[in-house]
Structure 1
Amino acid sequence: MGKDGARRWWAITRDAVRLWLACDAFTYAGALAFYTLFSLAPVVIIAVSVIGLVLGEQAAQGQIVAQLQDLMGREAAVAVEQAVARSRIQESGILPTLLGVSALLIGATTVFGQMQLSLNAIWGVAARPSRSSVFLFVKNRLLSLTVVLAIGFVLLVSLLAVALLFCAIFKVLPDVVLRWRDVVVGALVTASLFSIGRYAIAVYLTHTATASTYGAAGSVVLILLWVYYSSLILLFGAAFTKTQMLARGGAVVPSDTAVLVRRQLLVDAPAGMRAAAARGV
């Protein structure tokens, strides 16, 4: 790579950091951590059920919990395992089972609705109000479910599979028209950062007094912190994907169900607009 290439990638990285900060990534990461806390057990249950068809349910759960222990630490992994045990469908009969499965699916995919909002903020788009909102809701939930299933396999496989998962997330979840080649580089960068960062985060959480500081809630705090830091990496990867696509001459094209959003600082807005904002109009 020559000097021109190095300068180009430096400029892309610099712009990605600026976009990441400008889009309030820390707030969105906090929201993702909150929603993940309630979605994690359903996600693991569905992943175990699917992978269990191949490996056997006990083996699948053991593998996934072991991976979670490596990533989050023992206390957090035990908390997830206990939540999974409590969340399993125990009722018999068709109606209770259907209700239980529906609750699991909604719980597992809720976090991906928030993830879609976060990625839309990075891309500068917003969902368009539509009469077919129920159809779009179902469609987005089905797309989210495919990501849920993919996550189960990612917990068992290599860096390449992690990169493929990020490719799918960056391609499918935002309300933006993207080609696969638009997201490949960003997905590889994100997968690399995630693979390095997740173990660094695990080491940090394991060797600090976070769990003991919060007493009985320590394991919950560990999960929140791990997801929070991981979400920051995900959102930076989305910002990098956008900036490198724009650097190649691409343009942000919202999907049919979305519109572009123009961000404007209030201090730069006309006086009348600032007055209206102050009145809450």
Structure 2
Amino acid sequence: MSYIKHKLTSFWSLIKKAYFSWNRNDPWARSATIAYYALFSLPSLLIIVVTVAGYFFGQSAVQGRITEQINNFIGEEPARAIEGMIASAALNDRSTFAVIFGLAFLIFGATGVFFQLKAAMNNIWNVTAKKNTVKRIIINRIISLGMVFVLGLLMLVSLVISAVLAALSDYLASIAPVITTFMLDLLNFLLSFLIVTSLFAAIFKWLPDVKLRWKTTYLGAMLTTCMFLVAEYIIGFYFGQSKPGSVYGGASSVVLILLWVYYTCLIVFFGAEFTVQYALHKKEKVEPNEYAEPAIYQELERLEQKRGQLIDEKRILDTLQSHTDKDLEMEKSDKKK
């Protein structure tokens, strides 16, 4: 009993530390920034996800599954809007140059949101890139593209398992229909939990420029998933009751998508802060990778540059003041004469 009490006390202490750190890092502004980028990245990101998973399962099936999930999250109207984005932004059989240009634009657009998310994760871990060379920018884009393919892979796994469950349901329904319904609901919940947890763990592991073990990321990812699933119900209820998009008329779908991404980012940032606190609690060896360094070094360098600027400004002000004093003295002497 005392062991459980100790674990719960430690867990609550980590939650409080994570909250204070989360609030100090201004998640509201960062979430708004990423929501803005996500709005423009969403069509490209979804096209790549649909293409990767659709290669094995058919694009219509994947697109239908995405629409269904988004419908569960934020409602039918935004889901239809996103479905329209995928259809209108798809690459058609055009000239070679147009296809290459369109593919490059797709990759750049789809990785934009993860590029910004990476910067936010580095800020949470208090690390920063040593130098933004062209090579490093390309590597960051490749990592972000990898996250897009992870989304496609998880979508593929979800579809495969769902197909297997659907195939088993008919057989099991003839044996025990009540138990079958319960078991399928439970398996679907566990499937969603596992997929979302794996996605968050991948974000916490790969995006920040730190060396981190998978074991460290999974507890934070599990907490983030629990918060995400609870928030899914709360946000869905909020959107259904208050209808915040109705105020914006024709732009309501865009507003709802922005709000959904905004609230999701707040949850992801809290999960990342919890992961940091958990790593500190377990005294994990976490250090920047070869492309990054502790952010305090660049902060000190900026402060030193600022100090030099202030010294120069003070010198200029002293010079101007001395000229002013001389002018006043000359005026006084002229008046005496």
Would you say same fold, with TM above 0.5? Answer: yes
* 3-state SS in 2 of match to 1:29: helix
Compared CA separation, residues 209 and 135, structure 1 to 2 (3 A): same
Q: How far 1:238 moved relative to its partner?
A: 0.3
Q: What residue is the counterpart of 1:54 in the other structure? A: 56
Query: Quick check: which has more Rg, 1 or 2?
Result: 2
Q: What residue is the counterpart of 1:232 in the other structure? A: 266
Q: How far 1:91 moved relative to its partner?
A: 5.1
Unmatched tracts of structure 1, length 5 or more:
none
Q: How far 1:251 moved relative to its partner?
A: 4.5
Determine if contact 1:190/1:233 at 8 Å carries over to the other structure.
Answer: yes
Q: How far 1:222 moved relative to its partner?
A: 0.3
* 3-state SS in 2 of match to 1:259: strand
* 3-state SS in 1 of match to 2:287: coil
Question: Is 1:85 matched up with 2:87?
Answer: yes
Q: What residue is the counterpart of 2:145 in the other structure? A: 145
Aligned counterparts of 1:65 and 1:4: Cα–Cα separation in 2: 44
Determine if contact 2:22/2:273 at 8 Å carries over to the other structure.
Answer: yes
Q: What residue is the counterpart of 1:188 in the other structure? A: 222
Q: How far 1:200 moved relative to its partner?
A: 1.9
Q: What residue is the counterpart of 2:96 in the other structure? A: 94
Q: What residue is the counterpart of 1:170 in the other structure? A: 204
Determine if contact 2:52/2:153 at 8 Å carries over to the other structure.
Answer: no
Q: How far 1:154 moved relative to its partner?
A: 4.3
Q: What residue is the counterpart of 1:108 in the other structure? A: 110
Letter in 1 for 2:127: V
Determine if contact 1:64/1:152 at 8 Å carries over to the other structure.
Answer: no
Aligned counterparts of 1:154 and 1:26: Cα–Cα separation in 2: 28
Deviation string, structure 1 residues 212-267 (Cα, Å, up to 9, x no partner): 1011111111000000000000000000000011011125411111111239x9xx
Q: How far 1:180 moved relative to its partner?
A: 1.2
Q: How far 1:193 moved relative to its partner?
A: 1.2
Give the number of equivalent residue pairs.
271
Question: Is 1:213 matched up with 2:215?
Answer: no
Q: What residue is the counterpart of 2:26 in the other structure? A: 24
- TM-score of the two chains, using structure 2 as the length reference: 0.75
Q: How far 1:151 moved relative to its partner?
A: 2.3
Hey, which bits of structure 1, 4+ residues long, moved more than 3 A? 152-157
Aligned counterparts of 1:276 and 1:159: Cα–Cα separation in 2: 54
Deviation string, structure 1 residues 179-223 (Cα, Å, up to 9, x no partner): 111211111111121122123212211222211101111111100
Determine if contact 1:79/1:219 at 8 Å carries over to the other structure.
Answer: yes
Q: What residue is the counterpart of 2:135 in the other structure? A: 135
Determine if contact 2:42/2:110 at 8 Å carries over to the other structure.
Answer: yes
Aligned counterparts of 2:86 and 2:276: Cα–Cα separation in 1: 36
Compared CA separation, residues 152 and 196, structure 1 to 2 (3 A): farther
Select which of 75, 79, 87 maps to 2:77: 75
- TM-score of the two chains, using structure 1 as the length reference: 0.89
Letter in 2 for 1:163: T
* 3-state SS in 2 of match to 1:92: coil
Determine if contact 1:202/1:226 at 8 Å carries over to the other structure.
Answer: no
Higher helix share goes to which structure?
2
Q: How far 1:93 moved relative to its partner?
A: 2.0
Identity of aligned residues (%): 36
Aligned counterparts of 1:185 and 1:233: Cα–Cα separation in 2: 14
Q: How far 1:153 moved relative to its partner?
A: 4.8
Q: What residue is the counterpart of 1:15 in the other structure? A: 17
